[in-house]
Amino acid sequence: MADTSRPLSPHLQIYKWQVQMLTSILHRATGIVLAIGSLIVLWGLLALAGGSEAFAQFTSCVGSPLGMVVMFGWTWAFAYHLCNGIRHLVQDAGAGYAIAQFVRSSWLSIIGSFVITLLVWAFVLTSGGAA
C-alpha cells in the first residue's frame, strides 16, 4: 500500500503560482466544458429539426435566467479555448517562448476571451436573439 504521508504532486507545493499555470488549467477545463456544452448545442439542433414545439421548449430552457448563465459560461469557454488555442499555434510555429511574451500572451488569452464573450452577448441581447 502507498505511503499516505508522501505528497502526490510536489510541484504544486514547490513552485510559485504563475499565470501560465492558470492558462494551462483553464485550457483543459474549458475543453471539458465545451465537450459537455456541445450536448446542449446538439439538443438545440435536434429541437430545430423536431419542429416548432420542440424548438420552443428548447428556447424556453436556454432563454431562462439559468439557461442564459450556462450559455454565457459556454460562450466564454469557447472564446477562451479559441484564444488560447491560437496562442498555442503561434508557439508551435516557434514564436512567443520568451518569458515576457509567454506571460503577455497568457494574459491576452484571458482578457481577450472576456472581450469576445461580452461582444457576442452584447450582439445577442441587442439583436433580440435571447428573447
Is 27 annotated to bind ligand? Answer: no
Q: Residue 8's CB: how many other CB atoms inside 10 A? A: 8
Asked if 109 contacts 80 with a C-beta cutoff of 8 angstroms, the reply is yes
Characterize 75-84 residue by residue with b for buried, 16 or more Cβ atoms within 10 angstroms of its Cβ, and e for exposed.
bbbbbbbbbb
At 58, list the grid cell: 428548447
Q: How far is CA 123 from the centre of its chain?
A: 19
Which residues, 6 or more positions from 80, have their beta carbon under 8 angstroms from its beta carbon?
Answer: 26, 27, 30, 109, 110, 113
Extract the annotated binding site: 81
Extract the annotated binding site for heme: 81
